[in-house]
Amino acid sequence: MRTFVSAVAVLIGLAMAAVAVPAIWVDRNIVQEDGFVALAAPLGKDPVFQQRLAAAAVGSLGASEQLPGSITELVRPILENTAQSLTSVPGYPEAWAETLRKSHRLSVVDPNSLPAEAGGAASLTLDVAPLVGLVAKQVSEATTVPLEAPGQVLISVGSSEQRQLVERIAAYAPLGYAVAIGAGIAFLLAFVAARRRWTVLAGAGVGALVLAGVWKLASGVAGAAVSAASSGNEVAELFKREFVSASTASFDQWILATAVAGVALLGLGTVLRVVGGRRHVRTALKNRRH
């Protein structure tokens, strides 16, 4: 009976861990604003993405009604130069980080929790207004013409259905911590109830290796599904592609850690099995002598 309880507890613990680990990763890297910014910040350093993003920001300002027609030709060279060197302009890292924060609030945060003046978006959206503001500042300093950047410059990176899916995931992801605690309790119960505790360690190790493989396959499928949904916007496609790549690389680190833990548990279980077997043989020999 103890063996059965232990085996069931291990299986329950593995099932809960299978859900808890991805949920915690999503909460820390997608749901939480700081985690999202940290994950996506390196995208702003990609040369191709930089150029497309700068061109979009400059194009938004160039098409703005706030730019007087009489000076359009005057500022055009300035805009073109800014598009080429925006990432080297002082304040670019801060503007890119603020772009990510505004985009996170539009796409991930529950719209009902946002203030009315924050606006809203029905789909997954990138708000490049901070970058447009940086461009406006450069033009103003070069021409002495005061320009005020628009409050929002939105680029759709996903459909409304994808936005709803993200909202549902964001609502349930924080539950991963509670599920992880449940998994820990299940493994502890299995260890206490087991007649041969090395089997619990070895079983948990094998299960961790299996989970690592399943997560790797699932992350590849999820990444391919996200990439397959075209937005029709070049900047949006670049952002989506790079973000999927960054997310996959980040989660791969968690998968690797799980695989290493699985190997360690399997090795520890094997060692205990060998040591226990030798002790059993020595005990049997002593009993025969007596």
Task: Tell me the mean pLDDT per 10 residues along the chain, length 290.
Answer: 86 96 95 92 76 73 54 63 73 88 83 50 78 80 71 78 83 94 94 86 94 95 81 76 90 96 93 67 52
Element at 77 (helix H, strand E): helix 72-85
- What is the structure's pLDDT at 235? 75
**Residue 217's domain spans which residues?**
2-28+164-289
Predicted TM-score of the model (pTM): 0.83
Domain end marker among 117, 136, 160: 160
Q: What is the pLDDT of residue 229?
A: 72
User: Which residues lie closer than 8 Å to 32 by C-beta, 6 or more apart?
Assistant: none
Tokens representing 248? 């996959």
Closest CA to 10 of 273, 200, 267: 200
Q: Is residue 33 part of a domain?
A: no
Residue 276 belongs to a domain = yes
Are residues 237 and 137 part of one domain?
A: no
* Structure confidence at residue 227 (pLDDT): 77
Query: Domain for residue 34, yes or no?
Result: no
Answer yes or no: do 205 and 118 share one domain.
no
- pLDDT for 281 equals 43
Q: Answer whether residue 173 is part of any domain.
A: yes
Cα Rg for the chain, rounded, in angstroms?
27
Domain boundary among 160, 178, 207: 160
Between CA 169 and CA 100 the distance in angstroms is 19
